[in-house]
Amino acid sequence: MELLAIIFTIVILVTSIVYVLLQDYRATANRIFALFTTASLLLSCAGAVRFASRNQTEIWLLSGLLTSLQAAIFGLLIWLILILFMPHRYNQPAIRWATISPYLVMAIGLAIDWYGRFGFVGRDVFREERGVLTFVRGPAFGPVFALYIIGCIVIPVTILVTLAVRHAAVRMPTIWLTAGTLLTFLTGYVFREIGLTALTYASLLPIHLSFGWVTIKYGLFRPSQVALQAAVDHLPDGVLVLDANRQVRFANRAAQQLLALEIGRGLEEVLHGAGFVEQNTVSDPSPGYRRFVRGNERVLLLFEVAIRDERGGSSVVLLGDVTIVERQQADLLASQAILSERSAALERSLAELRQRDDLLRRLTLPIIPLSSTTLVVPLIGMFDTERCQTLVQLILNEMATRQARVVLIDVTGLTVFDQTLALTLNQLNQGARLMGAQIVLCGIRPDLAEVMIHTGSMWDRIRSFATLQDGVSALLLAR
């Protein structure tokens, strides 16, 4: 009967390992559960072999292994509780290793004491004639057994009960696991006391059955749950879950780093304790956002979403550190202001340059009104393409503005008279004729006359005089 119970336990454990790993073998929680169940499987297998063995040496060797495995199993149970219900604690290496270190020390210490034959905890084991295994206890057995009760029963049960009381969302899973842990201890103790030593190796069955029920009912080891939990925990922005009393019930890693908060405290209390003051501005993304500032070193943006279900009201808070973003925005606004000032200064400089250019054009191309209908324009220096275009535009505009009928162009001050200027004067003459006016050239020198001869017949329709005085006298006589 006892051997059948052990075999049944082995089948259940192997099935649990395969089921959980098939759900998601890459998830840390699933791997730890598989390791926890594998240790229990080794314990059951070693117990079955020891129960069936009649070799004293084999019984002695397996007895030391069993005591060390029990300590390691409950250390892995603590890890499972942390990663399933308090992942933010498990993700802190100091806490993770501090929780399992006592169990590792106990497992290694028991193995050294047994196989080294020191005899502080257990001295020997032998099978009586009626088949019952009897242990010869050492002087330190009492204190070590008390530590075993505290570490393997009291601590995990206390953690589970605390979670059930403080976190309604995980109340039912933790109650099931608490019941399984207590039944495991009571089953092992009762079976040993009534002489069914072999069934003590099946005492781990209640806690594994409770894990199986919780897995099927609440999906603790499903890929979606594990992946979602891992994704939320590794988000760059903080994620908080608040209960109906606005107390923090969950915080991912980013939220822990931003606020250094404690689970169970109110959100406003946490923010105030961290030195943040609410300071909303008109530039916030939407009315649902709340802006909290801590001096000049940190700016947080909070967005809260209410959740209503059959278990009551709660809310999810998204927590973003926008310190760098706001600093960049401030720098951008300052740069835009500087750029606007420089643009305005450049526009002012451009306007001044235009005024100066206009003044220079007027100075280099002075237009002298001789009468209400007569203008005199002396040409001085050398005229390139740009200056020739300016000459045409300026004279035609002045003719239209002053309604001039005669424009005397004095070419005495020219240093160069080339083809470009000749074509320009011809265009000016055509434009003036279209406007009902005429162009008169004055100051024709011999060298200019020679160039004009080579440029063709374009000068036939333009009156010309040797000097400006001759041109003015001719006009006065004509009147």
Q: Is residue 419 within 8 Å of residue 456, measured between CB atoms? A: no
Each residue's pLDDT tens digit, 194-249: 666 556 666 777 888 888 887 777 666 665 555 556 667 777 788 888 877 888 87
State the pLDDT at residue 222.
Answer: 61
Q: What is the pLDDT of residue 105?
A: 92
Q: Is the pLDDT of residue 309 over 60?
A: no
The answer to whether residues 116 and 138 touch, using CB atoms and an 8 Å cutoff, is no
The pLDDT of 380-399, averaged and rounded, is: 87
**pLDDT at residue 103 in the model:** 92
Q: Say whether pLDDT at 476 is over 80.
A: no
Mean pLDDT value of segment 363-390 = 86
With 80 as the cut, is the pLDDT of residue 80 above it? yes
In this prediction, residue 101 carries a pLDDT of: 93
> Distances in Å between the alpha carbon of 281 and those of 285, 297, 303, 320, 354?
9, 17, 14, 16, 44
Give the C-alpha separation, 16 to 32, whole Å.
12
Higher-scoring residue by pLDDT: 22, 111: 111
- 217-226, 304-313, 337-346, 412-421: lowest mean pLDDT where? 217-226
How many CB atoms are located within 10 Å of the residue 372 CB?
A: 9
pLDDT at 473 over 70: yes
State the Rg of the chain over Cα. 50
Is 81 within 8 Å of 156 (Cβ atoms)?
A: yes
Closest-CA residue to 215 (of 260, 173, 163): 173
pLDDT at 261: 74
Average pLDDT value over all residues in the chain: 82
pLDDT, position 112: 93
The percent of residues above 90 in pLDDT, for the chain, comes to 13
Q: Could you tell me the pLDDT band of residue 78, with boundaries at 50, 70 and 90?
A: very high
pLDDT over threshold 60, residue 366: yes
Residue 106: the pLDDT is 92
Q: Which residues neighbour 371 within 8 Å (Cβ) at sequence distance 6 or greater?
A: none
Strand 312-321's sheet: what is its strand order? 248-251, 238-242, 312-321, 298-309, 289-294, 277-278
* Burial of residue 264, with CB atoms counted within 10 A of its CB: 0-12 exposed, 13-18 middle, 19 or more buried: exposed
Contact 316, 235 (CB under 8 A): no
Residues 81-87: contacts with CB within 8 Å, 24+ apart?
A: 81/156, 81/159, 81/160, 81/163, 81/177, 83/28, 83/29, 83/32, 84/29, 84/173, 84/220, 85/163, 85/167, 85/170, 85/173, 85/174, 86/163, 86/263, 87/229, 87/233
Q: What is the mean pLDDT of residues 413-430?
A: 87
| pLDDT tens track for 441-457 | 999 888 888 878 877 76
Dist. CA 174–CA 345, nearest whole Å: 72
Residue 322 has phi, psi (to 5 degrees) of -110, 20
Task: In whole angstroms, give the CA distance from residue 156 to residue 174.
Answer: 10
pLDDT for position 225? 55
Give the whole-angstrom CA distance, residue 443 versus residue 438: 17
Q: How far apart are CA 369 and CA 66, in angstroms?
A: 123
Q: Which of 49-53, 249-253, 326-330, 454-458 has the lowest mean pLDDT?
A: 454-458
Predicted pLDDT of residue 470: 87
